[in-house]
Structure 1
Amino acid sequence: MAFSASSPKEGMHFSDRANATLFPTDDPTLISFDYGAPGPTLLPTSLITLAAAARFARPDASNALQYGPVTGDKEFRYELARFLRREYGDEDVDMERLVVTSGATQAFFNLVTIFTNPATVFLLEDPTYFLAAKMLRDHRIPSSRMVAIETDAETGIRVDLLSTALDSLSARDPQPPDVAGTYPYVLYLVPTHSNPTGSTVPTPHREEILRLARKHNILVICDDVYQLLHYDTATPPPKRLVAFDDLAGETGGNVISNCSFSKIFAPGARLGWIEAPKRIVDAIKLAAVSYSGGSPNHLTSNLLIPLLHDNHLHTHLTHLRTQYSARLTAMLTALDTHLGSTPGVKIHRPKGGYFVWVELPADVDTTLLRKRVVEGLQSGEVGQQRVTFKQGADFSMSGDGCRNALRLAFAYYEPEVIAEGVRRLALVLRAVGVGV
């Protein structure tokens, strides 16, 4: 039987690939700084072809198509640990403390399922990743069990305010329900090159967070997807927070590093990993959500084995850092050119990640501004500039916070497109009185 990849059923036409991805790629005139993803030219199509040929040439090729071990393919975890020791500069990365996932989002869902109970209180940065609270609401967690902790746009979560909040919660409920295997508190953080502000929590603050976690029995879930995307070689990021926990001993069990290949390889791979102390890994092994179906995305993890073993992924990551650094520089240069001297405008300058956070004068509401741009409700310059951004209110736990801020993603476009997009954005802002 012959198969043809280019023979769709009668009446179905796929020549227009406008809806082939998550992004509205049907409008080539639009420059969208919403897209927190690698651009098309950075996706490793040739490496996937190489990986598939190498993995399926092996005598054990069929294993890649079988149910995988609960914590993930052993050879993959071995190669992943070797890769991470090199990239983190940390010889303590151990394959036995790595668990394969299908990406950071689904891993977060599963961690909430496994390690929380109906009384668990969730502490989140404010501003934070715009889908964090929504993911918790999808777990039917009420707002009364979510506590917003103010952040600093340069150093991340305010540890002093976190400590105060925990003292208040402990005083109100000195003996939270003791449900075996679960935690009374969960703290969700993006500690390195955060989404949205680009902030990085410094080492002393990380040490204090761990002290608080042990004092109050908190599970700290670190969204570490940007840990390896650092562009200033002179000042590397602090060690990931999980490295401060007791990984091999009996006291460890407060920090999970939740990582993904989406930012360092390809979002379509739907592959990630958790790094955690032994006690947490053992609990994950016993969970039904882990055992049912075995390792998630077992096939993709097998495809990455030759790429890790032969250092192709290291080479690709090095290339990404160079490209993203150039794109970040292009965005900051353009912002400085068009908005740098504008009163009331503050441009935050990350050293890694995907995003630039911009604060505008207090009277500017970026939610309303985006609505005018996207819907074309007003004619003239604002309606005609083909550029979008993420409004600051999307990232605020309070709903009203950050209304004068916006987040710009720089990973998707080439530098010259970024420069044009920022020029358009400046025209939009001038139309509402910013930078006149």
Structure 2
Amino acid sequence: MSTEQKPIDLLAGWPNPGLLPPTRLETAAHDVLQDPYLAKQSLRYGPDEGYHPLIEEIARWLTRFYCPKDAIGPERICITGGASQNLGCALQVFTDPVYTRNVWMVAPTYFRACPIIDDNGFGGRIKGVPEGEEGIDIDYLRTHIAKSEEDAVRNGNTEPKMKTLYSWRKIYKHVIYAVPTFANPSGCLMSLARREQLWSSKISGPARNRFQARYPRLVDIDRYLDGGPVSEWGNTMSNGSFSKIIAPGCRTGWAEATPKLAWGLSQCGSSRSGGAPSQLVASMVHQMLTSGSFEEHLRGTLLPSYEKRYRRLMQSIQARLVPLGVTLPKLHEDTAGGYFIWLTLPSGLNAEEIRTAALEEENLTIMAGWQCQVQGDDESGLDLSRNLRLSFAWEDFDALDDGVQRLAKVIGSKVTR
């Protein structure tokens, strides 16, 4: 490797610093802190469920974007400290490390979710569910859940063992972790048919407006199936975050679910100790939403920038890697999104060897497929030894093609041996 060769990072799943809105955040902070009433509210301990003005604005924003049959009410929203923090809180409140049988993760998966799940007592019981071109393998999931239930009944695991059943808590037998839209790392968009199969029911078709969601969310399907869930708790939680659409340092997100489940989530002990986990920044985010600053940033900066980045990386892959035998998932032109592109190397090549060589020989950082395995899973039989994940979000735009060119050099040297 030349010591003069500039490092290129196609691994980091972070927004490029040039896409962050410090001026908009500064304006929002100024507006909040210069208003005596808003400053008082934002600098105090917040209510358990979070900053109410932001809850109400998120409910309106989600209604506009996802277009459910009925408006989303604020009672369905709980403010969180971001998606990762909230995953931990949800597991703390709604699972029992003995009674809850398994956590099922669509595989390949977001690798940093595994330690969060493991920290909540599920080591050895995190199971991978293979992902196809349309999303989660429903038949595999159903078969293995049925087997898990048989084992639980045979072992007398019929009631929660570790958690107290407060009025705001329900203990679920199974947890499914999925990213239905532009999954990390595969970029897969779970089809409408596959989403419906999780509940075996039909929901309205995709929205057509570019600034509306393509498919209904799982939380919306659960909301309307057969007139609504039988239990007031429901079966689904949507876990959202402003980390990628404003800034990771905001550490602010939201969860949407039935009012009962949303309230139960807000009663997590770490949230009740001081209230909402993001009171000050939540007030700033609210200011950005109500002033129109957030929408301007989303539509004027993020969407065109990420689309441009995606097109640049895809064009480079098509020109430089596909001729070497590298293949991609069958994603359509109108399904671009997320941060990542998932590649499969030609037969005979090993992703870890390519990753190591790319770093040592070309100063290029990428992710090998094994890093996206479900931690401890040895049953799904998923082989990721030939997969790579490339990110188009973090590196400077002009470096994307150069990064693929370096990767092509490494792969080409292996193919021609």
Q: Which of the five TM-score ranges fits, normalised by the shorter chain?
A: 0.7 to 0.9
* Contact kept? 2:136, 2:190, Cα under 8 Å: yes
* TM-score normalised over the length of structure 1: 0.82
* Contact kept? 1:245, 1:255, Cα under 8 Å: yes
Residues 1:81 and 2:66 are matched in the alignment: no
**Residue from 94, 115, 126 that aligns with 1:115:** 94
* Alignment RMSD (CA, Å): 2.5
Q: Secondary structure at the match of 2:199?
A: helix
Residues 1:356 and 2:337 are matched in the alignment: no
Amino acid corresponding to residue 95 of structure 1 in structure 2:
P
Residues 1:135 and 2:142 are matched in the alignment: no
**Structure in which a larger fraction of residues adopt helix:** 2
Task: Write the mapping of 1:4-403 to structure 2, written as runs, cut at 5 A.
Answer: 29-60=6-37, 61-90=39-68, 92-119=71-98, 120=100, 121-143=102-124, 145-152=125-132, 154-174=133-153, 176-179=157-160, 180=165, 181-210=170-199, 233=210, 236-246=213-223, 251-252=231-232, 253-318=234-299, 319-343=301-325, 345-346=327-328, 349=331, 351-374=336-359, 376=360, 383=361, 385-397=362-374, 398=377, 401-403=383-385
1:250 shift after superposition: 5.7
Amino acid corresponding to residue 86 of structure 1 in structure 2:
R
- In structure 2, distance between residues paired with 1:386 and 1:115: 44
* Contact kept? 1:242, 1:276, Cα under 8 Å: yes
Structure 1: 5+ residue stretches without partners = 1-26, 213-229, 377-382
Structure 2: 5+ residue stretches without partners = 202-206
1:335 shift after superposition: 0.3
- In structure 2, distance between residues paired with 1:343 and 1:368: 17
Cα–Cα, structure 1 residues 308 and 234, in superposed 2: closer, same or farther, change >3 Å? closer
Cα–Cα, structure 1 residues 348 and 148, in superposed 2: closer, same or farther, change >3 Å? same
* Contact kept? 1:232, 1:351, Cα under 8 Å: no
* Contact kept? 1:331, 1:415, Cα under 8 Å: no
Count of matched residue pairs: 382
Which region of structure 1 is more displaced relative to structure 2, 92-101 or 408-417?
Answer: 408-417
Identity of aligned residues (%): 29
- In structure 1, distance between residues paired with 2:229 and 2:35: 38
- In structure 2, distance between residues paired with 1:427 and 1:111: 45
* Contact kept? 1:387, 1:425, Cα under 8 Å: yes
Amino acid corresponding to residue 177 of structure 2 in structure 1:
Y
> Which of structures 1 and 2 has the larger relative contact order (alpha carbons within 8 angstroms, sep 6+)?
2
- In structure 2, distance between residues paired with 1:70 and 1:402: 41
Q: Secondary structure at the match of 1:128?
A: coil
Which residue of structure 2 lines up, in the alignment, with residue 407 of structure 1? 389
1:176 shift after superposition: 4.1
Q: Secondary structure at the match of 1:183?
A: coil
Q: Secondary structure at the match of 1:346?
A: coil
Map Cα deviations across residues 117-153 of structure 1 (whole Å, 9 max, x no partner): 122111111211112222222234221x22211111x
* Contact kept? 2:49, 2:263, Cα under 8 Å: no
